[in-house]
């Protein structure tokens, strides 16, 4: 009952005209960046970090805008996967497997509309899951002290390096770099300057917006140089039928439900998002279909495969918000940036958010319901319009991204120094990405670094420097064991997943 | 040298820099058992361990990039750096015009397309950000005009 009352307050927040408008803008922008291969929610959200401050948006509005982009991109990613066999988004890799054959058979319209509906089903179920589980988890996590926090963060890093990345060592390296970068600036406890190299611009630390824009916008442009192809002329022939029929929906509905459940639980794990969720859902469904060969069309455009994948990746990106909101542990690059934005508003991510910022948390949850309805409403009739994004040539897009990035970074402190830093970070990040170092652990390290260090020092102050305190509670021990297990288990899990899933996710 | 070896060597270099410049980070008056030095040292250790593993393991050769792409990457990086330096000195509109046109050319625009892109983007975004969204942008050499 209490939850229901909070949810209603959330809807009151999310339904104000400004927030409704922001959710709609986010949904459109999210679908657009989702359609474009190369650009994803993480890039769009990174570029928006300084913009939300320049606009003076309150924290809940910023979160609503960014969340809408995040979930919108999952809807967008499927469009390019189905139409041109290029996943617009890492998590849409599996969508192309069944979606593209369907579109080759003249069923693009059916595939697009059906996948929009199953995306919606996955998202909605996951959002209901957030409402049910998040408050319970946050109450439980309130008992966390500094000791449990240290263990929890180590656990999160273990998840991220173990589950997300193909090469755990590189993921760990990325997390280490992020942690190191977070120490730049004045140390709040002692007043000592760390790694500022006498540069006044670094006293407050490395600006979050400069770092994320360098990492995710500038480096992306350098990657685009390699991958861009000038304005694809997409054949927008959606086939004769623009919409699926009832029997198609009925036959795929169970698959969508299974996908939603799988996606939901995978999305709870830090580090495993839509890519892993949809891969697992896909292989489950394919195995089930193999039992009745008469109806099995997997590989040649099976609607069930498409339905389950889309339900799973949307479900996973929505359930990602549970660890982010309740524990302060983001599970993807995008949610890591959102958490970083919260800290810029002087809010401490973690279980306290539910009690100290109910409007923000519940407003965000309510906006997920609203955003998903908007996305469904947009994605069926306007799919052709979004697909046209694919024909925008790179020479229009890239200068635009540079301008938005530069203005955003400059607006923070009006210093050219930050622009130079942004470019340097972008070039270094490009090199790291070419060495297949994933960026998500890096940003997670940067966002969590300060909190991890504070809790570590607090815990050790309690014990007067004895490190045994770090594994002195049951919860802490479970988390340490879990962290070790997760570093070992993926070697086993990886054999269960199809090869397509082994892609680092943004 | 394989890619992983290069990465490992760079990681070790970074760990060394962190350790050398972090060793002196001691608070003049310590109120707590763990000072400002411990955490940077732990991160340096993590980075050094990863670097060593990569250096020993080797392998991981990425597909080579074409000469054309490499030229593009160098050109784009230099353009962005020059843009960063000229942003305040030259002012927003002229520097953005030049950057947009050059970047459009790098990404395969024809000269007239690059010109249009530069004009539309520099003037349009100035009006949007400076007048519309109250982000104060440097006027530079066009100070009296704007």
Q: What is the pLDDT of residue A240?
A: 65
> Closest Cα of chain A to B72: distance in Å?
7
The pLDDT-based confidence of A206 (bands split at 50, 70, 90) is: confident
Q: How far is CA A134 from CA A16, A222, A353, B102, in A?
A: 24, 39, 11, 49
Q: What is the pLDDT of residue A380?
A: 85
A87 or A51, which is more confident: A51
Above 90 in pLDDT, residue A233? no
Q: Enumerate residues 6+ apart whose C-beta is below 8 A from A94.
A: A278, A279, A281, A282, A309, A313, A500, A501
Q: What is the pLDDT of residue B131?
A: 82
Q: What is the pLDDT of residue B67?
A: 82
The pLDDT-based confidence of A238 (bands split at 50, 70, 90) is: low
Q: Is residue A428 part of a domain?
A: yes
**A195–B21 CB contact, under 8 Å:** yes
Q: Find which of A399, A413, A417, A464 to mutate to test the B interface (most B CBs within 10 Å of its CB).
A: A399
Contacts of B47 in chain A (CB under 8 A): 173, 176-177, 180
A434: nearest CA in chain B?
Answer: B62
Tens-digit pLDDT profile for residues A9-68: 999 999 999 999 999 999 999 998 888 877 888 888 998 898 888 888 999 999 999 999
Tens-digit pLDDT profile for residues A438-480: 888 898 899 888 888 888 888 888 888 788 888 888 888 998 9
Is the separation of the CB atoms in B85 and B77 below 8 Å?
Answer: no
Q: Find which of B21, B50, B74, B85 to mutate to test the A interface (most A CBs within 10 Å of its CB).
A: B50
Q: How many domains does chain A have?
A: 1
Which value, to the nearest 10 degrees, does the dihedral of the CA atoms of residues A313, A446, B77, A37 take?
Answer: 0
* Cα B32 to Cα A459: distance, rounded to the nearest angstrom: 11
What's the domain range around A125? 2-140+148-501
The pLDDT-based confidence of B99 (bands split at 50, 70, 90) is: very high
**A192–B100 CB contact, under 8 Å:** no
Q: Is residue A15 part of a domain?
A: yes
Rg of chain A in Å (alpha carbons): 22
Contacts of A192 in chain B (CB under 8 A): 25-27, 35-36
Q: Enumerate residues 6+ apart whose C-beta is below 8 A from A433.
A: A219, A223, A439
The pLDDT-based confidence of A329 (bands split at 50, 70, 90) is: confident
**What count of CB pairs under 8 Å joins A to B?**
192
Q: Which of B39, B62, B117 is opposite residue A434, by nearest beta carbon?
A: B62
Q: Enumerate residues 6+ apart whose C-beta is below 8 A from B48.
A: B11, B12, B15, B16, B19
Reduce the DSSP state of residue A194 to 3 states and report it. Answer: strand
Q: Which of A169, A222, A395 is opposite residue B117, by nearest beta carbon?
A: A395
DSSP state of A91: G
Q: Find which of A395, A419, A433 to mutate to test the B interface (most B CBs within 10 Å of its CB).
A: A395
**B88–A177 CB contact, under 8 Å:** no
Q: Which of B54, B104, B133 is opposite residue A169, by nearest beta carbon?
A: B54
Above 60 in pLDDT, residue A376? yes
Tens-digit pLDDT profile for residues B59-85: 777 777 788 888 888 999 999 999 999
> Closest Cα of chain A to B55: distance in Å?
11
Residue with tokens 């792409």: B69
Contacts of B108 in chain A (CB under 8 A): 228, 230, 393-395
Q: What is the pLDDT of residue A503?
A: 44
Q: Is residue A202 part of a domain?
A: yes
Reduce the DSSP state of residue A185 to 3 states and report it. Answer: strand
Q: What is the pLDDT of residue B1?
A: 54
Give the rounded percent of residues in chain B with a pLDDT score beyond 90.
Answer: 38
Above 80 in pLDDT, residue A171? yes
* Cα A288 to Cα A290: distance, rounded to the nearest angstrom: 5
Tokens of A498: 């199809």
- DSSP assignments along A476-503, one per residue: HHHHHHHHHHHHHTHHHHHHHS-GGG-S
Is the separation of the CB atoms in A47 and A213 below 8 Å?
Answer: yes
Q: What is the pLDDT of residue A491?
A: 63
The pLDDT-based confidence of A497 (bands split at 50, 70, 90) is: low
Give the rounded percent of residues in chain A with a pLDDT score beyond 90.
Answer: 28
CA atoms within 13 A on the CB side of A376: 18
Q: What is the pLDDT of residue A505?
A: 40
ipTM confidence? 0.92
> Closest Cα of chain B to A467: distance in Å?
11
**A173–B40 CB contact, under 8 Å:** no
Mean pLDDT in residue range A261-276: 82
The pLDDT-based confidence of A504 (bands split at 50, 70, 90) is: very low
Tens-digit pLDDT profile for residues A249-259: 888 889 999 99
* Cα A7 to Cα B74: distance, rounded to the nearest angstrom: 52
* Cα B75 to Cα A52: distance, rounded to the nearest angstrom: 31
Q: Enumerate residues 6+ apart whose C-beta is below 8 A from A314.
A: A71, A74, A75, A119, A120, A122, A123, A126, A263, A274
Q: Is residue A322 part of a domain?
A: yes
Q: Which of A179, A197, A464 is opposite residue B43, by nearest beta carbon?
A: A179
> Closest Cα of chain A to B3: distance in Å?
6
Q: Is residue A506 part of a domain?
A: no
Other Cβ atoms closer than 10 A to A381: 10
Above 90 in pLDDT, residue A126? yes
The pLDDT-based confidence of A237 (bands split at 50, 70, 90) is: low
Contacts of B64 in chain A (CB under 8 A): none
Q: Which of B40, B62, B108 is opposite residue A180, by nearest beta carbon?
A: B40
Q: Which of B36, B47, B107 is opposite residue A190, by nearest beta carbon?
A: B36
User: Which among A340, A330, A344, A329 is positioned nearest to A149, based on CA atoms?
Assistant: A329
Above 60 in pLDDT, residue A234? no
**A416–B87 CB contact, under 8 Å:** yes
Q: Find which of A56, A166, A167, A169 to mutate to test the B interface (most B CBs within 10 Å of its CB).
A: A169
Residues A194, A200, A204, A209, CA torsion sign = negative
> Closest Cα of chain A to B2: distance in Å?
10
Contacts of B89 in chain A (CB under 8 A): 416
Other Cβ atoms closer than 10 A to A390: 21
Query: What mean pLDDT value characterizes chain A?
Result: 85
Q: Which of A176, A230, A410 is opposite residue B108, by nearest beta carbon?
A: A230
The pLDDT-based confidence of A383 (bands split at 50, 70, 90) is: confident
Rg of chain B in Å (alpha carbons): 23
Q: What is the pLDDT of residue A278?
A: 87
Q: What is the pLDDT of residue A375?
A: 93
CA atoms within 13 A on the CB side of B117: 29
Q: Is residue A68 part of a domain?
A: yes
Q: What is the pLDDT of residue A494?
A: 60
């Amino acid at each position: 009952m209490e939850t229901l009352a909070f949810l209603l307050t959330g809807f009151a927040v999310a339904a104000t005209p400004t927030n409704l408008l922001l959710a709609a803008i986010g949904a459109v922008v999210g679908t657009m960046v989702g359609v474009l291969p190369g650009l994803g929610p993480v890039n769009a959200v990174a570029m928006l970090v300084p913009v939300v401050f320049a606009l003076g948006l309150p924290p809940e509005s910023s979160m609503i805008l960014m969340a809408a982009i995040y979930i919108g991109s999952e809807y967008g990613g499927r469009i390019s996967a189905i139409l041109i066999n290029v996943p617009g988004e890492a998590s849409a890799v599996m969508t192309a497997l069944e979606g593209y054959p369907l579109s080759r058979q003249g069923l693009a319209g059916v595939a697009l509309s059906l996948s929009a509906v199953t995306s919606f089903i996955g998202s909605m179920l996951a959002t209901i899951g957030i409402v049910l589980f998040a408050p319970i988890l946050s109450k439980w996590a309130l008992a966390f002290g500094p000791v449990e926090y240290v263990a929890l963060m180590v656990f999160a890093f273990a998840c991220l390096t173990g589950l997300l990345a193909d090469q755990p060592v590189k993921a760990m390296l990325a997390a280490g770099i992020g942690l190191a970068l977070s120490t730049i600036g004045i140390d709040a406890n002692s007043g000592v300057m760390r790694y500022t190299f006498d540069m006044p611009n670094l006293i407050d630390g490395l600006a979050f917006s400069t770092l994320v824009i360098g990492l995710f916008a500038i480096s992306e442009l350098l990657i685009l140089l390699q991958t861009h192809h000038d304005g694809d002329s997409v054949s927008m022939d959606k086939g004769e039928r623009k919409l699926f029929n009832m029997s198609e929906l009925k036959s795929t509905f169970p698959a969508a439900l299974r996908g939603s459940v799988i996606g939901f639980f995978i999305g709870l794990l830090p580090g495993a998002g839509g890519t892993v969720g949809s891969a697992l859902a896909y292989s489950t469904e394919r195995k089930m279909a193999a039992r009745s060969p008469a109806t099995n069309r997997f590989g040649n455009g099976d609607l069930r495969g498409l339905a389950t994948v889309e339900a799973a990746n949307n479900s996973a990106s929505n359930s990602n918000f549970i660890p982010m909101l309740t524990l302060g542990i983001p599970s993807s690059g995008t949610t890591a940036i959102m958490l970083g934005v919260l800290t810029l508003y002087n809010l401490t991510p973690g279980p306290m958010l539910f009690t100290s910022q109910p409007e923000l948390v519940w407003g965000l949850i309510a906006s997920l319901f609203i955003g998903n309805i908007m996305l469904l409403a947009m994605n069926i009739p306007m799919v052709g319009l979004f697909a046209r994004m694919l024909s925008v040539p790179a020479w229009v897009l890239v200068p635009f991204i540079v301008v938005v990035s530069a203005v955003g970074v400059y607006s923070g402190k009006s210093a050219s120094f930050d622009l130079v830093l942004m470019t340097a970070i972008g070039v270094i990040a490009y090199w790291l990405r070419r060495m297949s170092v994933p960026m998500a652990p890096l940003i997670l390290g940067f966002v969590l670094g300060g909190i991890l260090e504070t809790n570590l020092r607090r815990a050790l102050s309690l014990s007067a420097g004895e490190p045994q305190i770090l594994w002195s509670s049951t919860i802490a021990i479970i988390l340490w064991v879990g962290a070790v297990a997760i570093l070992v288990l993926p070697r086993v899990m990886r054999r269960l997943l199809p090869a397509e899933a082994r892609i680092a996710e943004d | 040298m394989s890619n992983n070896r290069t990465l490992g060597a760079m990681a070790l270099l970074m760990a060394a820099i962190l350790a050398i410049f972090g060793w002196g980070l001691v608070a003049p008056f310590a109120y707590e058992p763990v000072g400002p030095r411990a955490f940077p040292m732990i991160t340096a250790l993590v980075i050094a361990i990863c670097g060593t593993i990569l250096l020993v393991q080797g392998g991981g050769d990425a597909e080579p990039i074409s000469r054309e792409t490499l030229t593009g990457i160098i050109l784009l990086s230099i353009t962005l750096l020059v843009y960063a330096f000229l942003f305040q000195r030259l002012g927003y509109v002229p520097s953005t015009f030049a950057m947009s046109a050059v970047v459009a050319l790098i990404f395969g625009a024809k000269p007239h397309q690059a010109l249009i892109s530069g004009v539309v983007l520099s003037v349009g975004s100035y009006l949007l950000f400076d007048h519309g969204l109250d982000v104060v942008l440097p006027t530079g050499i066009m100070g009296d005009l704007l």
